[in-house]
Structure 1
Amino acid sequence: MSSPSLLSLTYAAQEVNIYLRSIILIFGVTSNILNIIVFLSLEIFRDSSCAFYLLVMSFISIIQIFFGLFARTLNVAFSVDWSTTSLTYCKLRYYFFQVCSAIFYTCIALATIDQYLATCSSPFLQRFSNIKLARWLFVIFTIIWIMHGIPILYYYNQDISNSTNATICTITNDTFQQYYSYFTLIILLCSMPVIITVLFGILAYRNVQHLTYRTMPLVRRETDKQLTIMVLVQDVYNLFFIIPYIVVYALQLNLNINLDPIYAAQIELALSITGALYYVPFSSAFYIYVCVSERFRRQFLYVLFKLHLGRCRQDFARNQILPDT
């Protein structure tokens, strides 16, 4: 018989999965759509390699939210799990989860490196911060991550759970399970992005301290400063949501929680919370940029009210049919 503590922990985990993920889902879709509108509307961002990475991250985040966050929320809230009824969706869901996560964290790492290069005093290093190179790097890394994710399409299959006797979508190869859990998730998708962004973030921050004293066009200097602050704050912000997930996920992999149902439920609750918060970096970029950059706030208001709403009003007035007099 289940104890009250066990039932409470299980209920808490379910509530977290429903409400916390739903909130992140709503704010995440809104955040990325607004980012896309701003970055595509202003020429100063269209010509920036760093802004290109941030724009790509917004598109990737929407895909990631759909295949990861939205699918999980449907499963917990409404018991709708397409991965148990469709083998194709079972494979594609986890394939896109890995590929999109890898591209997202690659782009944030490249954006951090790009701002380090853009703010360097060396003209030689500054030349590597350009939109053409950024596009090529994006294509190259995208191909790499697409190829790296191919084994998921083979090893993820529908199987019968030993504990519930229900159909689940899971990895059916023990060797690949170890590779995926320890190397792909913990190292490639969590630890490496943290290390790279922290290292180049510190270097970029040091460069920005001396940016005011360098001879360069004012618009370029202000844009570099703005993008550097936006990226660095996002890097720090992401750490608070990636590291807890790494720790809890590693605990679940290495500790024998089957002997104590209460402890297993506690780990499951912690994993529900950190697993939901893992999607915050995919959902919060716009709000970070608005909070830390006054210039971005002005740009957003200009794009929203001057460009798009103003254009809509003009089109509406132009298309109105005047009454006969």
Structure 2
Amino acid sequence: MIFVGLIMYIFGSIGNILNICVFTKWCRPNKRSKYSGCCYKSNSSLYLLASSISNLIVIIYPLLTRILLDGYQYHIKESNEFLLCKLRYYVLHTFDLISLTCICLATFDRYLISSREVRLRRLIPTTKQTKSIILFVFLLFGLHSIPLIIYNGVSKAGYCIILSTYYLYYYLYAFQIFLHGVIPIIFLSTFGLLTLKQLRIISKRKNRYGMMNSDKQLSRMLLLLSLAIILSSIPYCI
């Protein structure tokens, strides 16, 4: 368990650090051309940058502590309840939902960019607005996950449990089934298919809508990422 977990930890950390470097570079404004569409790419890159940072935080703290706890069969005590139970679950669910939401927003952004309708392309936010949206997402899920700190505790056997029965039902249905399962599957499936349809039309019409090859590559990458998330989210709905 420790060996497999450490492999996931090492490669996951390296992968997300590389993603952060790439998306940070893509977020920089390109001054060479006013109509190059780089601002559109930077919006999606900002979402993916926030997602990669969130994933890295999840790997560094919740995943590492999970590996150590399960690997050494360590039972949590009341003295370290806050760090290994309350704070760990707060960080895990907060940044996991932030990452998932940012990917959904990036997919929606790609849909708007690839749309043939001018009224939809006008909905594309500016870079400043995109940063505000990301900040709002951080604050929203940061506040939403506060009850995890309040209601999480340690059982007599030394495991993290939710002490409130009512919040346990909310956790199971709202957190696990809807926020991690149903909503991402529906959202990514819908806008992923619509984006794929638009990309095929754009390819046939030879970039008539001014979409660069790098934009199309980013869109295809997001489609593959969306497919992976959809497949991984199905168990939450079962």
Q: TM-score range by the shorter chain?
A: 0.7 to 0.9
The answer on whether the counterparts of 1:109 and 1:196 sit within 8 Å (CA) in structure 2 is yes
Conservation of the 8 A alpha-carbon contact between 2:13 and 2:60:
no
Question: How many residues were matched structurally?
Answer: 224
Which of 199, 224, 227 matches 1:233?
224
Q: CA deviation at 1:82?
A: 6.0
Query: Paired residue for 2:148?
Result: 152
Greater RCO (Cα-Cα under 8 Å, separation 6 or more)? 1
Please tell me whether the aligned partners of residues 111 and 191 of structure 2 are also in contact (alpha carbons under 8 angstroms): yes
The correspondence for 1:127, drawn from 122, 143, 163, is: 122
174, 182, 185: which is aligned to 1:183? 174
Residue 23 to residue 243, structure 1, CA distance change in 2 (3 Å)? farther
The answer (yes or no) to whether the contact 1:54–1:111 under 8 Å persists in 2 is yes
Shift of residue 85 of structure 1?
3.9
The two structures have a TM-score, normalised by structure 1, of: 0.64
Structure 2 equivalent of residue 137 of structure 1: 133
Q: Could you tell me how far 1:76 is from its partner in structure 2?
A: 1.7
How far apart in 1 are the matches of 2:151 and 2:118? 48
RMSD: 2.1
Larger of the two Rg values belongs to structure: 1
Partner of residue 101 from structure 2, selected from 101, 106, 111? 106
Instruction: Look up the match of 2:43.
Output: 49
State whether residues 83 and 169 of structure 1, in contact with CA within 8 Å, keep that contact through their aligned partners in structure 2.
Answer: no
Q: Distance in 2 between matches of 1:199 and 1:26?
A: 34
Distance 1:244 1:175 in 2: 23
Alignment identity in percent?
30
Secondary structure of 1:215's aligned partner: coil
Tell me, yes or no, if the aligned pair for 2:97 and 2:141 is still in contact at 8 Å.
Answer: yes
Which position in structure 2 is the counterpart of 1:36?
Answer: 20
1:24 aligns with 2:8: yes
Unaligned runs of 5+ in 2: 31-37
Amino acid in the other structure paired with 2:149:
L
Does the Cα contact within 8 Å between 1:32 and 1:62 map onto a contact in 2? yes
CA separation of 1:245 and 1:23: change in aligned 2, threshold 3 A:
farther
Q: How far did 1:189 drift? A: 1.9
Specify the SS of the correspondent of 2:208: coil
Cα shift readout 1:56-76 (whole Å, capped 9, x = no counterpart): 111000111123321111112
1:155 touches 1:172 (CA, 8 Å); kept in 2? yes
Q: The residue matched to 1:24 in structure 2 has which SS?
A: helix
Report the Cα offset of residue 124 of structure 1.
2.1
Counterparts of 2:184 and 2:67, CA distance in 1 = 26
CA 1:198–1:44 in structure 2 vs 1: closer, same or farther (change >3 Å)? farther
How far 1:244 sits from its partner (Å)? Answer: 3.2
Question: CA contact under 8 A between 1:71 and 1:81: conserved in structure 2?
Answer: no
Are 1:206 and 2:197 an aligned pair?
yes
Show the counterpart of 1:170. 161
Paired position in structure 2 for 1:74: 68
Change (3 A) 1:34 1:78: same
Sort the Cα spacing of 1:95 and 1:19 in 2 relative to 1 into closer, same or farther, 3 A.
Answer: same
How far apart are the structure 1 equivalents of 2:76 and 2:50?
27
SS class of match (1:129): coil
Deviation at 1:28, TM superposition (A): 0.6
> What are structure 1's unaligned runs of at least 5 residues?
1-16, 161-165, 248-325
- Separation of aligned partners in 2, 1:84 and 1:93: 14
Counterpart in 2 of 1:221?
Answer: 212
The structure-2 alpha-carbon separation of the partners of 1:22 and 1:244, relative to structure 1 and needing over 3 Å to count, comes to: farther
